[in-house]
């Protein structure tokens, strides 16, 4: 794995993770477009997608702001920056520019953007308030900040399976120990409120991914990416971990098993004038 900060983004900038993020971005297109409709994004706007990974919502922003507008994709991982540049060229997104920087210190022009957005980045960042302060500093007065993060409150399989519970608990333990928060979604309105954001609105959606959808086995992918940490913490030995992984994989292959996905929480509002 080649990654500038593998400790902060556990899945790193691998091509497997790129493919997962590209397909996730496609799956989230309807909810992201719904959000952009609510915000009332206009042609000519300047927008930035912080932590955009290999595409994020750059394609949607590009289309909405049009040739008179401009979009910046900001990303910390060099490999994701390169992957995003390739996607931008492939899709002919002439009004989009990639910048490699940390969302905590973007170096972008302050008070200049109409829209500052992040999706699934705050969940990985421990300095959440500082991250939001930087996002807000980029907005013009009256500009819109938009956050989209998950909350694992709803995440389960039915019929329940002991291996799901054991692996989900192990994942949460190592993820939270690394500064992540799998329950950040519920806190988004409070975080925006504390940051002085006005007209805060929130929407929560949840889906039941069908057989073949990567979200059905996302817990197994996450476990694979942090298995060394689970073993190092002494939570499970390698043999036990593999046993649970196999048992769960079989259970999730069963068409009679339902998975209820994580909540997607969207929260947005305006910087005070």
Closer residue to ligand SAM in complex, CB, 174/241: 174
Shortest separation between residue 237's beta carbon and ligand SAM, angstroms: 29
The DSSP H or E segment spanning 105 is: none
Shortest separation between residue 56's beta carbon and ligand SAM, angstroms: 4
Closer residue to ligand SAM in complex, CB, 8/173: 8
Q: Which residues bind ligand SAM (CB under 6 A)?
A: 8-9, 21, 24-25, 51-53, 56, 75-77, 80, 102-104, 119-121, 124-125
Three-class SS state of 230: helix
**φ, ψ of residue 99 in degrees (nearest 5):** -125, 130
Tell me the two tokens of residue 235: 């939570």
Dihedral (CA of 207, 15, 6, 106) sign = negative
Shortest separation between residue 50's beta carbon and ligand SAM, angstroms: 6
Shortest separation between residue 127's beta carbon and ligand SAM, angstroms: 8
- Parallel, antiparallel or unpaired: strands 70-75 and 96-100: parallel
DSSP 28: T
Closer residue to ligand SAM in complex, CB, 127/211: 127
Closer residue to ligand SAM in complex, CB, 20/244: 20
171: number of Cβ within 10 Å: 23
Closer residue to ligand SAM in complex, CB, 50/227: 50
Contact 229, 174 (CB under 8 A): yes
Shortest separation between residue 3's beta carbon and ligand SAM, angstroms: 8
């Amino acid at each position: 794995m080649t990654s500038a900060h593998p400790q902060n983004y556990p899945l790193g900038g691998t091509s497997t993770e790129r493919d997962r993020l590209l397909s996730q971005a496609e799956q989230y297109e309807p909810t992201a477009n719904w959000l952009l409709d609510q915000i009332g994004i206009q042609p000519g706007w300047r927008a930035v997608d912080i932590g955009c990974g290999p595409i994020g919502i750059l394609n949607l922003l590009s289309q909405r702001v049009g040739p008179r507008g401009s979009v910046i994709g900001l990303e910390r991982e060099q490999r994701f920056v390169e992957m995003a540049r390739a996607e931008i060229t492939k899709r002919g997104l002439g009004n989009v520019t990639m910048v490699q920087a940390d969302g905590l210190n973007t170096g972008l022009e302050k008070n200049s953007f109409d829209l500052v957005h992040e999706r699934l980045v705050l969940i990985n960042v421990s300095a959440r308030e500082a991250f939001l302060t930087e996002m807000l500093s980029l907005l013009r007065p009256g500009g819109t900040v938009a956050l989209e993060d998950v909350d694992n409150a709803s995440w389960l399989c039915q019929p329940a399976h002991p291996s799901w519970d054991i692996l989900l608990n192990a994942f949460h333990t190592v993820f939270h120990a690394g500064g992540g928060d799998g329950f950040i979604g519920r806190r988004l309105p409070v975080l925006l409120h504390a940051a002085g954001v006005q007209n805060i609105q929130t929407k929560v959606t949840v889906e039941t991914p069908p057989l073949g959808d990567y979200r059905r086995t996302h817990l197994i992918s996450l476990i694979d990416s942090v298995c060394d940490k689970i073993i190092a913490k002494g939570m499970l030995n390698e043999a036990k971990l593999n046993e649970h992984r196999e048992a769960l994989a079989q259970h999730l292959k069963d068409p009679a098993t339902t998975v209820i996905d994580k909540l997607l929480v969207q929260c947005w509002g305006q910087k005070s004038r």
